[in-house]
Structure 1
Amino acid sequence: MSFTFRCLDAEADAPLLHSWVTRPYASFWGMQSATVADVAAEYASIQASGHHHALLGLDDGVPAFLTEEYLPGSSPLASLYPVHPGDVGMHLLVAPPSSAPIPGYTAAVMDAVLSRLFDRPDVERVVVEPDVRNTKIHALNVRFGFQPAGTVNLPDKEALLSFCTRADFHAARAAHFPQTSASILQGAAL
């Protein structure tokens, strides 16, 4: 695995994203009945917002996941918790596997996304707010150092608000993934 990131092109990437977000496993993404045009419009709005943007994650040049970064102070979270300087929100959707699932793949993607965020000196804490029913992502978040802070009501869901500091992330990596980041990204099973 060799992950890279590129800016999402809302129009050109909409058919691909549509094929991901309308699958049953992506039900928490909230776009099950979306059309390609709906997906294009949603991501055009995100990319134009100035405080929220989407990136396509590539595995050896092949689209493999979608990640979104946003400023919590410019989102519905602003009124639900005290936003700190250095907070950045994150969403993540891994593409459906093209063949048999690879053990540890989603964890390797999460590691790459969080490493990229924490490599930025302005990021002190990553904020996530997945649907409270999405137990798979809650387990993965905890594994990477996220600390649940409680449930919040957002316009489209009841969410589990969680935070991960740089120190929490590095401690979780050391405890759960003693191999180096490079070995994770080269395909070590987690």
Structure 2
Amino acid sequence: MPPTDASTGTGAGPAPQLGGGAEDTLDLQLPEELFAPFREDELAFAPQRTDDGAGHLLDTPACWGPATTPLGPFQLVPVRIERDLALISRWMNDPAVAAFWELAGPESVTAGHLRAQLDGDGRSVPCLGVLSGTPMSYFEIYRADLDPLARHYPARPHDTGIHLLIGGVADRGRGVGSTLLRAVAELALDNRPRCARVIAEPDLRNTPSVSAFLSAGFRFSAEVDLPDKRAALMVRDRALRNLL
């Protein structure tokens, strides 16, 4: 879990290898009206619905639908390696990102990181963040309660974690990270009815990242000693969402 910075190109770091102990999945069938159509210029990034159960532990982020933000329509689009590897690998080789995610190198390095999630049981789902039709960020949505992170804080069933990096330099340091974090937290709470909290764990020393989460409606909960960093446990509570 390398430390990362949502406001300068990286959010909370990549998801650690996930352990055992999965609990029952939520058998939720979302109504078709939630799947709002993309505009024509966004069709290339439309999520591919599958019937293989991928993502069910997270209530299928591919079906969460778009969000309206002050920056334009935003969509989480599950990664397809054949389409997205070159772009994500280029982002991972940006020095500002590589310092935290530690995935610099040939495309095979990023591919291995993505496949570990895509070939898993759906506890962590890698996604492109598509803003106004343009892929410009990378997210990992994961079950924090089924993650090794849960050994380090009082996890609750269905806690949902977020990792984020902003791909383009032009999108860093001007509040874009906060806007996207707020949008994704709202999507998780809207589409995961059993989820009471959205969790993140940026490096405690990473003041811009902590500030981005605070601006997105997260609260600082505690300092947490993780294997590779001292983290700020950030929490966005469903019960407080209308007050933030």
TM-score range, shorter chain: 0.7 to 0.9
| 2:65 match | none
| 1:29 match | 100
Letter of the structure 2 residue corresponding to residue 35 of structure 1: P
CA contact (8 A) 1:128 1:162 kept: yes
CA contact (8 A) 2:103 2:110 kept: no
Runs of 4 or more above 4 Å deviation: 99-103
Encode CA deviations 1:135-173: one digit per residue, 9 max, x unaligned: 11100111222222322233333322221102334322x
Secondary structure of the corresponding residue to residue 145 of structure 1:
coil
1:3-152 pair list within 5 angstroms: 3-27=74-98, 29-31=100-102, 33-50=104-121, 51-97=123-169, 103-120=174-191, 121-152=193-224
Q: CA deviation at 1:32?
A: 5.2
CA contact (8 A) 1:144 1:169 kept: no
Letter of the structure 2 residue corresponding to residue 128 of structure 1: A
| 2:33 match | none
Q: Tell which deviates more after alignment, 142-151 or 55-64.
A: 142-151
Matches of 2:213 and 2:80, distance apart in 1: 27
Matches of 1:102 and 1:81, distance apart in 2: 29
Structure 1: 5+ residue stretches without partners: 173-190
Q: Structure 1 36/170 Cα, relative in aligned 2: closer, same or farther at 3 Å?
A: farther
Structure 2: 5+ residue stretches without partners: 1-71
TM-score, normalised with respect to structure 2: 0.63
| 1:162 match | 234
CA contact (8 A) 1:28 1:131 kept: no
C-alpha RMSD of the superposition: 2.2
Looking at both structures, which has the greater relative contact order when contacts are Cα pairs under 8 Å and sequence separation is at least 6?
2
Q: CA deviation at 1:11?
A: 4.3
State the aligned residue count.
171
Q: Structure 1 130/11 Cα, relative in aligned 2: closer, same or farther at 3 Å?
A: farther
Encode CA deviations 1:19-73: one digit per residue, 9 max, x unaligned: 1122133245322533211101101102222211111111222111111111122
Query: Identity of counterpart residues, as a percentage?
Result: 28
Q: Tell which deviates more after alignment, 28-37 or 59-68.
A: 28-37
Matches of 1:9 and 1:88, distance apart in 2: 22
Q: CA deviation at 1:95?
A: 1.6
Letter of the structure 2 residue corresponding to residue 111 of structure 1: R
Secondary structure of the corresponding residue to residue 68 of structure 1:
strand
